[in-house]
Amino acid sequence: MELTQNLWERYGFTHNPYDTKALSLSKAAPLSVQEAYIPRADSAATADLLTNFLRNPGGGRIVVEGDPGVGKTTFVNFHRQQWETKARHKLISPPGEISVREGWSERDFLLNLLASLSARLRLDLGEKAFEKNKLLSEITAVVGVRSEDGSGLSGSLTLFGFGGGLGRTRSKSVKIGEITNEHLRDYLHGLMELVKKQGFAGVIFHFDNLELLGRRDVGALKTFFEAVRDALQESGVYFIFVANTGMFQQVIVPLPRVRSIFFDTPVRLDPLSALEAKAVIDRRYQLLAVPGKQWIKPVTDQVVESLYHIFTGRIRYVMNAITSLISHLPDSYARSLELAQATTIFQAIVLSEVKALLHGTEEAVFLQAAAAGRFTNSELGTRAQKSKQQIQKYLDNWLGLNLVSQKERVGRNQFYEIDPRFAILREQQEHPQMSSELTETSSNPTSGTNP
């Protein structure tokens, strides 16, 4: 095999057109929101809601919800980019998304806000002005110490004389070696004044992977929101929390004190429509084509459509599947992969993934589960003719391996759902004759030239 770094060159692309990273805010990235974002048609309900949230002067808190891979992170990135560059009242935001980790306290939360916002201001002010600023160098010291020793704040910090420049704590005596959360909130307040002095209307903080925390433990998320409630009320700050479907209802609604400071409704994102998903991919073909060269589609549009239906619109899974398909083709293969062949290859890939993890009866029962897609313990038991205990043993193992996930509970019935990447197995069993008659019916060109 040739050791070049571009699997996609043979199709005429500089990068993988099916890359599933969220679109970047940076124009320098191969796929940026500026160039690669496709507006969502559901915008009347979603984009407008987020825009109206950000149009409220003074700050706020909102939840953006949706299933994995529907485009939540990208959606928020797009809006951040718009407000940073196109708005009359500009809202700046730290370059990356912030990830909430398990067990975060208010302190961890505040330290992360301070670190990311001061990093953003450093870009804006330039190194010189940044270092001259007393508040910024204090914060850098606090945040810096924390990242060096990991454990917390050390006594030597008092050298920096924090508290002096900050209104609310000026009169308080500060114990040696201790920075209270109130100090940290004052720092945030100080930073916000600086932001406004720079001519910006506010700051957007984008917290991205609450779904990771929340899935394991709703209680942990509740504790987190209770703990950070005060920090969330800094004026001029817009907090956007991205989470899995249902988080607002499960976590925020039962906490009246927290709910009262949140935007009424969460923004709920549905999967992109089939046309939008296709537009996303077509746009990428154009953007990533090697300049002046011919390119061809690595897979036909029928493959994209078929995967779109298999994965019920979750575009991340669609694009991952295509990358996986192309990675399994021989190097010499340089035409558009057609549906019949794609289906066969993809089923083989997924099946071998199952066989690597499960064996014998368990494997057979899993394939039954895959055929069902969604099921309860007793439904699967009936289908596979196994006892409740036996099924439960399997389910626990599959949960641990991320082969299935828990869905809602209806009465005493817990529903389970097969991970979307196994949906193709269902296809196989339901339509064993998945045939070639579906291919080559489209008049879409499968190639083009980059102008």
Please report, as ranges, the residues that interact with ligand ADP according to CB under 6 A.
Answer: 20-23, 36-38, 40, 66, 68-74, 272, 280, 315-316
Name beta bridge partners: 137: none
CB of 199 to ligand ADP, least distance (A): 30
How would you classify the pairing of strands 267-269 and 59-66? Answer: parallel
- Identify residues 400-419 at the interface with Mg ion (CB under 5 A): none
Nearer to ligand ADP, 66 or 94 (CB): 66
Nearer to Mg ion, 73 or 306 (CB): 73
Q: How far is CA 205 from CA 95, 231, 242, in A?
A: 10, 12, 11
Q: Which does 165 bind (CB under 5 to 8 A by kind): Mg ion, ligand ADP, none?
A: none
CB of 372 to ligand ADP, least distance (A): 25
Q: Which residues contact 201 (CB under 8 A, 6 or more apart)?
A: 57, 87, 89, 90, 91, 236
Nearer to ligand ADP, 280 or 369 (CB): 280
Nearer to ligand ADP, 66 or 298 (CB): 66
CB of 429 to ligand ADP, least distance (A): 28
Nearer to ligand ADP, 16 or 140 (CB): 16
- List strand residue ranges (DSSP E) for 236-299, in order: 237-243, 267-269, 294-296
Q: Which residues contact 30 (CB under 8 A, 6 or more apart)?
A: 14, 15, 19, 287, 288
Stretch that binds Mg ion, among 72-80, 183-191, 312-320, 393-401 (CB under 5 A): 72-80
Stretch that binds Mg ion, among 68-76, 152-160, 262-270, 321-329 (CB under 5 A): 68-76
- List strand residue ranges (DSSP E) for 3-90, in order: 59-66
CB of 23 to ligand ADP, least distance (A): 4
136, 142, 144, 148 alpha-carbon torsion, rounded to 10°: 180
Nearer to ligand ADP, 71 or 190 (CB): 71
CB atoms within 10 A of CB 128: 8
Cα separation, 225 vs 259, in Å, equals: 10
Nearer to ligand ADP, 68 or 165 (CB): 68
CB of 36 to Mg ion, least distance (A): 16
Nearer to Mg ion, 286 or 312 (CB): 312
CB of 293 to Mg ion, least distance (A): 33
Count residues binding Mg ion (CB under 5 A): 1
CB of 423 to Mg ion, least distance (A): 20
The residue of the chain with the least Cβ separation from ligand ADP equals 71
What is residue 419's three-state secondary structure?
Answer: coil
74 scored as a contact of Mg ion (CB under 5 A): no
Q: Which residues contact 281 (CB under 8 A, 6 or more apart)?
A: 17, 18, 304, 319
Identity of the amino acid at 16: N
Q: Which does 224 bind (CB under 5 to 8 A by kind): ligand ADP, Mg ion, none?
A: none
Q: What are phi and psi of 301, to 5 degrees?
A: -60, -30
The residue of the chain with the least Cβ separation from Mg ion equals 73
**Residue from 73, 93, 118, 377 in contact with Mg ion (CB under 5 A):** 73
Q: Specify the DSSP class assigned to residue 251.
A: I
Q: Which does 280 bind (CB under 5 to 8 A by kind): Mg ion, ligand ADP, none?
A: ligand ADP
Burial of 25 (0-12, 13-18, 19+ CB in 10 A): buried
Nearer to ligand ADP, 49 or 380 (CB): 49
CB of 296 to ligand ADP, least distance (A): 21
Contact yes or no for 141/154 (Cβ under 8 A): no
Name beta bridge partners: 417: 374, 405
CB of 68 to ligand ADP, least distance (A): 5
Contact yes or no for 211/244 (Cβ under 8 A): yes
Q: How far is CA 6 from CA 2, 16, 114, 292, in A?
A: 10, 8, 39, 18
Q: Which does 23 bind (CB under 5 to 8 A by kind): ligand ADP, Mg ion, none?
A: ligand ADP
Enumerate binding residues for Mg ion (CB under 5 A). 73
